[in-house]
Homo-oligomer: A and B are copies of this chain.
Amino acid sequence: MQQFDVVIIGASAAGVTAALTARRHYPEKSILVLRKEKQVPIPCGIPYAFGVVGTPEKNLIPADDLLTKNTITTSIGEVVTVDRIKREVELAGGERYGYQRLVIATGSHPVVPPIPGNDKKNIFAIQKDVPYMQSIIDALLVAKNLCIVGCGFIGVEIAEECKRRRPDLNVTIVEMLTHCLQLVYDEDFCTQAEASLKEQGISLLLDKKVRSFEGNGQVEKVSLADGDVIDADMVILGIGARPNNELAVKAGLESGPTNGIQVNRYLQTSDSSIFACGDCAEKVSFFDGKPSSLKLASIATMEARVAGANLFSVSRTTMGVIGVYSTVLGERAYAAAGLTASQAVEKGFDVVVGESESVNRHPGCMPGAKPLKVKLLFERASQIIIGGQVTGAKSGGELINTISACIHQRMTADAIATFQTGTHPALTASPIAYQLVNAAEVAIGAMKKEMKH
């Protein structure tokens, strides 16, 4: 049996990043990364494999390359048992590896809702698995009517990419909430996103529940709770994921309220020599510390950087998940960080909003000028930022990270309104019109006005 200082289970965003971080912080330690799949898809790239990228093989994490050039050992095989007493893992094939520290980064499974008929042919969930993704593409190439269930990020991105790949395909998204992307954006941003989708010929059925999938062996129709029936010879489910915690449960590790592997702020599980990070790990909100079911690759890598650094000497903490998202619909970027207005109200915040829109060039006749709108949310008494949303030019994909830094540092509206930003005619709005600082100023103006009345 081979002994390693560190054994990591999983080689997606969390596993690879945990390994690279461990290597950087513990140059002398031996590290083994075990993964069950031969090829590891880039999780956020999966929708694009269906469209602009073309094939799942072009959307892979170069795990072996990244790891071996950092003198990290990799091996393929499914871990079936963790023996916490002996500090060993055992693979399906019987091989065993000893560890001093173990990192579980087993990710998540797509949720398949218990809707009658969900086992019919041509109904797909998004498995992070190359052959399975290829089978989705094979079905896509001959489908006539695609029904996507769930209008979150995965749903809207897959809808767009399938339509890009097959402009003649009828694409319908069914969503039980009132708006697309409702868990991430305020209503004004949601309705804009809905307009983007409709412009591309994608049909939206909002506020609708699926009752059953109909068909003879293969899916043919989707029946809705209100009695409507949609033609659909292909269905993709994009309604979330659940933590893959089976191995941890079997090893006797605690699970948390959202069924993730329970971890502390250092990402240690209930066994302090075993860490968990990424989709499989339990999370709390950065804001109120309550359980959070957010699952994002960017959260997974943050957690992996905490876990990897803490393996032999605890130094980093995670204060919980902020939730930073971005996507592109049509040619317009949509990004968000922190709480939406309705989430903030639900958590008990008294919210003040500031918005600012301007083109991302100056003067506006500079080539490439596109509108870019920033919305910021503050807690009224402390003036601390608790959320932000951005839509418009693609540079918004980086601007949201400035907002995330502001949230992370609990900056006040005043601090954001006066912090120094770089601006340039060919890259950003003018310094007079710079959206981030102006949105903070607008919120301050709103607070001042209300204090007077």
- Show the binding face of A for B, using Cβ within 8 Å: 13, 16-17, 20-21, 24-25, 27, 42, 44-45, 48, 52-53, 58-61, 66, 286, 296-302, 305-306, 309, 315-316, 318, 321-328, 333, 335-337, 362-363, 365-368, 394-402, 404-406, 408-409, 411, 414-415, 417-428, 430-432, 434, 436-437, 441-442, 444-445, 448-449
Contact = CB atoms under 8 A, between A and B. Distances in A.
A428 B322 CA distance: 18
B44 A432 contact: no
Contact of A395 (B315, B395, B422, B423): B395
Contacts of A399: 398, 401
A324 B348 CA distance: 37
Given A16-B432, A426-B394, A441 B402 contact: no
Given A45-B363, A395-B395, A441 B305 contact: yes
Contact of A318 (B333, B402, B418, B431): B418
Given A17-B432, A286-B420, A405-B411, 6 more contacts: A25-B445, A44-B423, A305-B441, A335-B427, A394-B395, A409-B411
Q: In the assembly, how many copies of this chain are there?
A: 2
Contact of A428 (B397, B411, B444): B397
A448 B25 contact: yes
Contacts of A432: 13, 16-17, 20, 61, 66, 301
Nearest to A55: B365
A420 B321 contact: yes
A73 to B, nearest CB: 18
A185 to B, nearest CB: 13
A430 B395 contact: no
B300 A397 contact: no
A441 B21 contact: yes
Contacts of A417: 305, 309, 316
